[in-house]
Structure 1
Amino acid sequence: MYLYEEVKNRIGSKISSGEYRKGDQIPSEMELAKRYNVSRITVRRALKELESDGILQIRHGQGTFVRNEENLNLRMLNLRGFSELETREKVHFKRSIISKTIIKDKELDEVFESDFEDEYLRLERILQDEKNKPRFKDISYFPMSIYKDIYDKITANISTFQLIKEEYNIKFDHYSKLISVIHDPQVNIELKILPSEPLIFVKKKIYDEKKRVIHYSTHYLIAKEVTFELNSLQFNE
């Protein structure tokens, strides 16, 4: 885990525990750097990540504040997985496994840029909130050549990202996403919404430090519950 990720998680934990509440101003970059014994650059990166995830709001000239938003919006463009969604929303989510199968698929061989016909664990899940309301559907694929014996290690409430990092010692480097608006009556039934409601469909690839595709997933989100936020670091006219 990178240093800025540790700082990010520690700040996120304070928000989750209620030490920093909605609308509160958190300590300055300098104070946080001293507290966690890191550079201000590391703190700044952590704060930027939390802002992108919709947890913090950086107000130039004023400071950094915990977002004061009552509505549950899924800012999925920046989220890494279920666990991060729980941390950001301060809500416990239930993961239900719909299916878990070993498959072969030539299209997946292309996605993972495999030179041979590999086998893949296909994991299909629904995420529900504390009221058992479905929030979104997730289908993930794991190459068995990379993740040996992963089938038996995945249970309903385990964090697959944490499993990848801790059991297989793989670090995520970057990811790419393709996003579209679709209609899928079957998914709408699973998410318990009207057949006419649109869905946000996301295809995500995650790469490791060697630029290998080490995780591929598709997500179905209820369109009206998704907030799109695009940030620019600099604007030049």
Structure 2
Amino acid sequence: MLDGKAIKPLYEQLKEKIESEIAEGKYKPGDRLLSEVELAEKYDVSVITVRKATNDLSKIGLLEKRQGKGTFVASRKYNKDLNQVLSFSEACKLIGAVPGAKVLASELVEPNKNVLEQMELPDNSKTVYISRLRLVNDEPMVIEDNYFSLKYSFLLEEDLNKKSLFEILSQKSGTQVVRSRRTIEICRATAFQASQLNVKRNSPLLLVQGVVYGLDNEIVYLGIQIINGERYKLHV
């Protein structure tokens, strides 16, 4: 029970109580809290006090209010700094997460004209196409489609479910990724993307597309990432 005689306001006490219960695992990401009325009755405070406490926790990203559904413990967001040229695996390790991958496609393809133009390749050129579902702590987070010139055909023989792409490029060809140029926009999940990322069809997703360069301004690959924006925070 909260202490009505304490100097600390009741809404602050309630905030700390909810934060403590989340930290202790009594509430887990995605769990729905009691309604405002139920919380008010449980802690013998007003609905206004409950609302102020939960609004404050929503502002700092600990709770998430969904119109007509209630208040939920927010899922953790993972961070990626687009100003740094890091592999997905390296970015995960920096935030203490475990990277994972599932190969969706690994083949030679003749991509569309837009891809070829960005890669500065002639019309009708074939490229090495690698598509992977990237996981963070076993949660599907990103669909990653990469196009490489035929110079990198050796990638088709690699086990990309377990190995870091950047490490393979360095070890097999001495390629060092040094910079990239990217664009970011919103897209809607197709049926396939929704099934892979565990979201609803037409859900808003982040589309990050860019060309990645090695030393001497060589184009290493064109990358297209479809990201679950509800679980991922990009820094630009």
Q: Report if TM-score (shorter chain) is over 0.5.
A: yes
Q: Does 1:125 align with 2:154?
A: no
1:40-189 → structure 2 map (5 Å cutoff): 71-75=76-80, 77-78=82-83, 80-107=86-113, 108-115=115-122, 117-130=124-137, 132-144=138-150, 146-186=151-191, 187-189=193-195
Q: For the residues of structure 1 that align with 2:228 and 2:112, how far apart are their CA atoms? A: 30
Q: For the residues of structure 2 that align with 1:148 and 1:195, how far apart are their CA atoms? A: 34
Q: For the residues of structure 2 that align with 1:106 and 1:128, how far apart are their CA atoms? A: 27
Instruction: Give aligned-pair identity as a percent.
Output: 13
Equivalent of residue 211 in structure 2, options 200, 205, 211: 205
Alpha-carbon offset, residue 90 of structure 1 = 1.3
Whether the 8 Å CA contact 2:101–2:160 is kept in 1: the answer is no
Q: For the residues of structure 1 that align with 2:110 and 2:149, how far apart are their CA atoms? A: 10
Alpha-carbon offset, residue 76 of structure 1 = 5.1
Q: For the residues of structure 1 that align with 2:229 and 2:153, how far apart are their CA atoms? A: 36
Whether the 8 Å CA contact 2:102–2:133 is kept in 1: the answer is yes
Gaps of 5+ in 1: 1-69, 231-237
**TM-score (norm: length of structure 1):** 0.60
Q: For the residues of structure 1 that align with 2:195 and 2:97, how far apart are their CA atoms? A: 24
- Cα 1:116/1:157, change in 2 over 3 Å: same
Structure 1 residues 65-98: Cα deviation after superposition (integer angstroms, max 9, x where no partner): xxxxx93323252452221122112121220011
Alpha-carbon offset, residue 135 of structure 1 = 1.2
Gaps of 5+ in 2: 1-74
Q: For the residues of structure 1 that align with 2:128 and 2:205, how far apart are their CA atoms? A: 25
Aligned length: 159
The AA in structure 2 aligned to 1:190 is Q
**TM-score (norm: length of structure 2):** 0.60
Whether the 8 Å CA contact 1:72–1:89 is kept in 2: the answer is no
The AA in structure 2 aligned to 1:153 is E
Structure with the greater alpha carbon radius of gyration: 2
- Cα 1:205/1:218, change in 2 over 3 Å: same
Alpha-carbon offset, residue 156 of structure 1 = 1.1
- Matching residue of 1:50: none
Root mean square deviation of aligned Cα = 2.2
- Matching residue of 1:227: 233
